[in-house]
Amino acid sequence: MRHPIGIIATGSYLPARSVSNTEVGAQTGVTDEWITRKTMIHARRHAAPHEATSDLAAAAARAALTQACITPDQVSFIVVATSTPDHPQPATASIVQHLLGASNAAAFDVNSVCSGFVFALSVANGLLQDQPDRYALVIGADIYSRILDRSDRKTAILFGDGAGAVLLGRVAATQGVLGTRLTTRGDQHSLISVPAGGSRTPASSATVANGQHYFTMNGRGVRDFVENSLSQEVQALLEDTSVAPQDVQHFVPHQANGTMLSDVWPTLGLHGATCHLTLEHYGNTGAASVPITLDLVHRRRLLAENDLVLLCGFGGGMSVGSSLLAWAPTRYAARAVVRTSVAA
């Protein structure tokens, strides 16, 4: 028996420091115009030296809990999606639990890189199916500024830092998560990586000297993967849920690259939907990009009850995660936000 579980509150946190294209371009040898034309990104946020991924995650979670009027001790599960954890161990989620004071919550991490939030959402939804009267925090948080080669124009211009969170709980029978589709193409795992620091290539003075702890990406290969995979994954999920593409009102994708998304968008067949983009101001925030965008769209009151909302993450692994929701009534919290860029 399916229990209706859905998003009952959202939250996000973005570091204070905004980094312009001019600053990034000076380090990578490209111009503001070049970055904007290639990515549609104008700025991104970088975490302060004292901020770790757990700090960003906890701040986003607090915003969601405040919106829902739920206290931390009422949360049963905390799932943090990140590929930039505070430490190799313990799980960043355990630190988030401590920061929140959510002592009754089981806490663990999910790493599916930029698709991680949707993967984590699926896991939390599954946990609540067995315990539908409980609450789960699902958080996407990443600090990519710590693992970037600032001279690499393929990566340094794209990524920013941030965290987004949702609170899951019981909703009305026809609302909440209607379906989820998760896929991984492990044969293409080498397209995105941090080569050293794990059991395959342990950290050493040589790996540091060789720059093997930086994030690397085959941009052309990633673009080909997205162009070849996204449409079929979206179509398969809609078929699984018996929803016509034209009936979807909102599409919230991973904020990878605005130019790439603009090229892929017409192939998805979502002719009645708005594609929501926030990358103009925040860049690619990894696993945080979908929940940050969802929170900003929600707080602008753009989501009406029963609207069909399609979330889609894609990234390293290579993986795609898509989730379709019928939006449930949620609380709003008045807060000034940077204007969300919405592409029709």
Active site residues: 114, 254, 284
Residue type, 46: H
Task: Give the angle 299-302-306 at the CA atoms, nearest 5°.
Answer: 110
Q: In this structure, is the dihedral angle defined by the CA atoms of residues 36, 287, 319 and 189, taken in order, positive or negative?
A: positive
Q: Sheet with 250-253: list strands edge to edge.
A: 176-184, 319-326, 308-315, 250-253, 274-277, 341-343
Contact 254, 229 (CB under 8 A): no
Contact 21, 11 (CB under 8 A): no
Give me 196's structure tokens: 């050293």
What are the two backbone dihedrals, phi and then psi, of residue 32, each rounded to the nearest 5 degrees? -55, -45
- CA 117, CA 323: separation in Å to the nearest integer? 10
Whose CA is closest to 215, among 198, 196, 188? Answer: 196
Element (H, E) at 26: helix 21-28
Q: In this structure, is the dihedral angle defined by the CA atoms of residues 238, 131, 166 and 57, taken in order, positive or negative?
A: negative
Please give, one letter per residue, the 3-state secondary structure of 215-265.
CEECHHHHHHHHHHHHHHHHHHHHHHCCCCHHHCCEEEECCCCHHHHHHHH
C-beta neighbour count of 28 within 10 angstroms: 19
